[in-house]
Chain A
Amino acid sequence: MAMLELQGVTVRFGGLVAVNSLSFDVQEGTIHGLIGPNGAGKSTVFNVVSRFIRQDAGEIRFRGQALDCEPHEVVMRGIGRTFQNVELFRGQTVLDNVMIGLHTAGKTDVLGGALQTRRVREEEAATAKRAHETLRFLGIAEYAGRRAYGLPYGVQKLIELARALALRPSLILLDEPVAGMNPTERMELAGVIRQIRSEFGMTVLLVEHDMSFVMNLCDRITVMNFGSKISEGTPPEVQQDPQVIHAYLGEEEQDAAAR
């Protein structure tokens, strides 16, 4: 079953067509890669699905229902996300960051918080416990009390992932999850993403420039160039597509050879 469906989605920024009548489905339980050269429109796709940007044409459906809500309502529908350039709440601790990820699981309002009623304290303890579990799952529990700002970049990326995972969304959007990580960390994260799917049954849609990471991890891949879809299929299919090689992988192989 298709968890996320994009049908003829078009986004224009002034005269520039960032996403051009794009259609693709993300099947439930898959790890789906969205790749393409810089400026292909991948992040715009993420931002449309997150509702930060509204499409000029086309439709997005999530679990069969039109995804047409405010940005802050997206997470309630079951879609979590991370950002390309880590967007942590830098002033707060790692644990607080993950607890903010659980914002919609709580009910405490300003008055309740001020009065610290029993219900509020119980909710707080439960939220902290869930946040701790997610930190432990990702192996970064030791940072719980540290301030997010100033931690190594790889750790910051994991904190962001923890923040999005804490609520156990049914679909998680990962924008360049391994950027800035070393090869060991990349391998570990690939394992984590597989685990996210197998243990929590989450569907994953990710944008990534690291080709070997994408090809090893993803079940299906959609390739974009200049805002349009140029190819789609399993990793081997995509890798053999002449269009893709021309637009993207060709350059990549030359780069690799040059290195």
Chain B
Amino acid sequence: MDFLITLVNGLSLGGIYAMIALGYTMVYGIAKMLNFAHGDIIMVGGYTILLFIPVNPVLAIVAAIVFCVIVGVTIERFAYKPLRGASPLAVLITAIGVSTLLQSLAQVIFGSAPKIQQINLGALQLGQLKIEISTIITLVCSVIVMVALHLFVKYTKVGRAMVAVSEDKGAAQLMGINVNFIIMITFAIGSALAALAGLFYFLKVQTMTTTFGALPGIKAFTAAVIGGIGSIPGAMVGGLLLGVVESICLSIPAISAYTDAIEFSILIIILLVKPTGLLGKKRREKV
């Protein structure tokens, strides 16, 4: 029975990781860059929710999504787009710079003291099982988001164009696909998912700081690499796997202190056995 609760909690946390991991992996697959400022978009979403939740919870969610999309697309337009074709190292350093910028801005605006906001949605009592409502909402929403994203990529014109761009930018342009537009859409989707992840992560920790996005960000990045960076199903599998592992580790007192070490060790072991990640493909070298 306890194990069932651990599993549900793990899948719920994994859903959050998966949503963030999708942002990392889609941007990597399509723009061929690691967006290390992605974690800070979660923080932007978190503060937006904190700001608007006294007004109206639904408005808070909508505002967070809209604002994160604007921030994400703006960052892409002004920080990353001018560097298209530049060395990957330059882009990486820029991303780290953007991350620092966002955290500093948040500190200027909201101060460095943590903000605590209690949100209690209650718990569900099923016989001996007691599960937080927020956990169930997180799990259900993340599944809906993942299914919707899968359908979008598979069955819409823009979604298929995303796959085409991630595989071969040149050939995609020859089809008439505007690569810059597709990259913008990718950042918009990634940022919207980060906003949702910010909401659910906030429901979990209920404390807001300027480095709110750092830990889930790095965990989700780990999940994306475990699943195979660039692979959308990989990010989902990696996220859920990491969430369940974390939940199991935390539920066993003897090893709970080593949870992070165990998670990152799993990354190392998987990369040793399968360097491309669980669902990653070897890309053929092009001449």
A and B: interacting chains:
no
Q: Which B residues are within 8 Å of any A CB, using their own CB?
A: none
Interface of A toward B, CB cutoff 8 Å: none
